[in-house]
Amino acid sequence: MSNSIQRTRNICVIVAVGIFLIILPHLIDDYFVHIATTIFFFGYLSMAWNILGGYAGQFSFGHAAFFGIGAFTSSLLQVHAGVNPWIGMLLAGIAGMLMGLFIGSLSFRFGLRGAYFALTMLAFAEMLRLIAVQVCTVRYPLGINIPIKGNSLLYFQFSSKVPYYYIMLFMMAGALYLTYIIERKKLGSYFKAIRENEDAAQSLGINLFNYKLLAMAISSFLTAMGGTFYAQYYLIIDEEAAFGVAGSIEILLGSIIGGAGTVLGPLLGAGVLECLSEFTRNVLGGYSGVHLMVYGAILIVVIVFLPSGILGGLKMAFGKLTKKGSRDLWVF
Amino acid sequence: MTIPSLSLLLQSIVNGILMGGVYSLVAIGLSLIFGVMNIINFAHGSFMMLGMFTTYWIYVLLGIDPYLSLLFSIPVLFVIGLVIERFLIAYILDAPEYNQLLLTLGVSLFIENLALFLWSPNFRTFEIPYLSKAVTVGTLTMSLPKLIAFLFAVILTVILYYFLKSTDLGKAIRAVSEEKEGSLTVGINLRRIYYLAFGIGAACVGAAGTLTAPFFYVSPQVGSVFVILAFVIVVLGGMGNFIGAFFGGLIVGLAESVGAAFIPGQLKQFIIYFIFVFVLLFKPAGLFGKAHE
């Protein structure tokens, strides 16, 4: 297939999907709008994780640290200083990024790799959670409530779920585009080189420390902004929702299941997980934790049978059929 | 920060050592698995929880004394370990490190939430009169179940130590953890050693669960309290180092207990994580380890 035809085809597909997603919330009821928003939300967070974990190969088990900082920064600024949540979101991103740079410069300076980095991230997220618990039990025993301003774009709160859907769609599309750019540019190749073999990457002149830190900065910035969205969506945030280990796990699961280090993998994974979790909730009802049990089983199956995720598995299957066509699927 | 009196300090040192014995047993299992298979077992806390529930149900349904149920929890967890090794871990021994971590995370998510589904999140405790007794020596009091747990933990550790030091099988396990290819050339069956190591690791933490249950609470999520502690201890003692894990357990038990005398509430856990990060960053081979590389 020639390049220009492929390009035109890709643009057509993107425009068609875009139009479909824009009119979608007017075709379905509130419950499904909520589900779609949740899928985009976890897809977005997973994409943020994917830049650090999937592309640069630095596995984080503690992204709740950035998510929580984001949610707490914008919420506390709003409650105590009346800072507008949109500005709060930007500040949240910056706060998350600063934490990311702090943790990253410590861990990468001392050469923590693989599982050790993963566990260090977990430890930092837990330390932040403990601080949040300490603060919340004294000052916000019922969680931090966002002051209600009514239906207002300026104050980032709406009576209907549809505006949230559009905001999340926009954020998710932005993260998707960013991932696509990284995938296509030199930066992505540097990240992947670091992921595949750090020593070889270094010997080719890639500055490991700087590039890992860059991946960390992008990833933590985006994750923290997601935290603000969560707080505005539910208008309440507590320490468990913000910093809990379950959050860290859900953020990385999307990427792992969809395919880490791919553009669409995180969104696909988030979609699969959310559908499964809704399904189990409806079938098995009010038992707490059943959806996590299913997540555990899915995770086991994926790691054993599809170690590079659903997209990775598809790519391999297609690669065997048509050696040429595989690259297509990898990107789109 | 409060300044405790001398007797309170002594008391917390004794409590710390007693708890440390149990922590050591948890960590030795984790360390053995890591040393032999290079796998960081995230499901270790879930195994401990299963050990606790085994003890709990055997007591509730059959009325068997919790300490006697060591005879059940050790083999039960050994078999669970074998099965998980055979049907899951065996497939990912050559996978990247983080995929191994994710697999054991999946196992732990599954086991913990299955337990939540079957047994509800309620906290359960043992209502046995002798468990609330205490032994007094001078000004120090030691709660009886903690003392028993410590003694059993030390006995089991010593037995395991002699098993690894003196028997052929134990020597084979140590050989594999030192040098895999060398062990293969002298005819050691790697697969069998992996089974065994994972099974023994699970049995250790199962026993620790049984010993902890009488003075703690039993609940599906109880394992998460211990799994992080076990990581800290194993890192502190040097990954895969048996003696290191034992003394690491005592040190963490002491740090936690003495820390609690100075610093109230949740922040004592903060110290544990702080030690963890500090050791990982500045002393990655552990306090007793030789620097690799």
A38 to chain B nearest CA, in Å? Answer: 21
Q: What is the mean pLDDT of each run of 10 residues along chain B (293 residues)?
A: 76 91 92 89 94 94 91 95 92 85 92 90 86 82 90 94 92 88 87 92 95 91 86 84 89 86 74 85 71 42
Q: Name the 3-class secondary structure at B143.
A: strand
Of B40, B106, B277, nearest to A296 by CB-CB distance is B106
User: In chain B, which residue's Cα lies nearest the Cα of A196?
Assistant: B96
Q: Is A324 a residue whose pLDDT tops 60? A: no
- Contact state of A110 with B265 under an 8 Å Cβ cutoff: no
Q: Is A219 a residue whose pLDDT tops 60? A: yes
Helices (H), B63-138: 70-87, 97-119
For residue B181, what are the CA distances in angstroms to A296, B178, B197?
33, 10, 17
Q: Which range, of A194-198, A255-259, A265-269, B178-182, averages the lowest pLDDT?
A: B178-182
Q: What integer pLDDT is reported at residue A150 of this predicted model?
A: 81
Q: What integer pLDDT is reported at residue A270 of this predicted model?
A: 94
- The pLDDT confidence band at residue A285, using thresholds 50, 70 and 90, is low
- The pLDDT confidence band at residue A280, using thresholds 50, 70 and 90, is confident
Q: How far apart are CA B185 and CA B135, in angstroms?
A: 53
The residue that leads in pLDDT, A267 or A289, is: A267
Counts of helices then strands in chain B (DSSP H, E):
11, 2
Q: How far apart are CA A48 and CA A207, in angstroms?
A: 22
Q: What integer pLDDT is reported at residue B151 of this predicted model?
A: 94
Query: Hey, of A46, A50, A63, A130, which one would you mutate to test binding to chain B, going by the most B CBs within 10 A of its CB?
Result: A130
A273 to chain B nearest CA, in Å? Answer: 14
- Contact state of B281 with A110 under an 8 Å Cβ cutoff: yes
Say whether residue A243 is in contact with chain B using an 8 A CB cutoff: no
For residue B257, what are the CA distances in angstroms to A70, B143, B260?
34, 14, 5
Q: Is A70 a residue whose pLDDT tops 50? A: yes
Q: Is A300 a residue whose pLDDT tops 80? A: yes
Q: What integer pLDDT is reported at residue B266 of this predicted model?
A: 66
| Residue A85 near residue A147, CB atoms below 8 Å | no
Q: What is the pLDDT of residues A107-129, one digit of tens each?
A: 998 888 888 898 899 999 999 99
DSSP 8-class letter at B43: T
Q: How far apart are CA A107 and CA B277, in angstroms?
A: 9
Query: Hey, of B33, B105, B112, B114, which one would you mutate to test binding to chain A, going by the most A CBs within 10 A of its CB?
Result: B105
| pLDDT mean over A250-258 | 91
Q: Which range, of A53-57, A172-176, A269-273, B261-265, averages the lowest pLDDT?
A: B261-265
Task: Show me where the domains of chain B are located.
Answer: 6-118+145-282
Q: What integer pLDDT is reported at residue B291 of this predicted model?
A: 45
Q: Tokens for B212, please give them.
A: 């902890």
Q: B33: number of CA atoms within 13 Å, CB side?
A: 34
Give the predicted TM-score (pTM) of the model.
0.88
Q: What integer pLDDT is reported at residue A322 of this predicted model?
A: 54
- The pLDDT confidence band at residue A73, using thresholds 50, 70 and 90, is very high
Q: Of B91, B95, B55, which Cα lies nearest the Cα of B210?
A: B55
Q: What is the ipTM, given to two decimal places? A: 0.86
| pLDDT mean over A262-290 | 85
Q: Is A329 a residue whose pLDDT tops 50? A: no
Q: How far apart are CA A76 and CA A85, in angstroms?
A: 10
| Residue A55 near residue A226, CB atoms below 8 Å | no
Q: What integer pLDDT is reported at residue A332 of this predicted model?
A: 40
Enter the CATH code of domain B6-118+145-282. Answer: 1.10.3470
The residue that leads in pLDDT, A81 or B239, is: A81
Q: What integer pLDDT is reported at residue A328 of this predicted model?
A: 46
CATH of A29-331, one of 1.10.10, 3.30.70, 1.10.150, 1.10.3470: 1.10.3470
CB burial readout A51-64, b (16+ within 10 A) else e: bbbbbbbbbbbbbb
Report residue B19 CA to chain centroid gap: 11
Q: How far apart are CA A216 and CA A101, in angstroms?
A: 7
Q: A56: number of CA atoms within 13 Å, CB side?
A: 30
Q: How far apart are CA B233 and CA B31, in angstroms?
A: 9
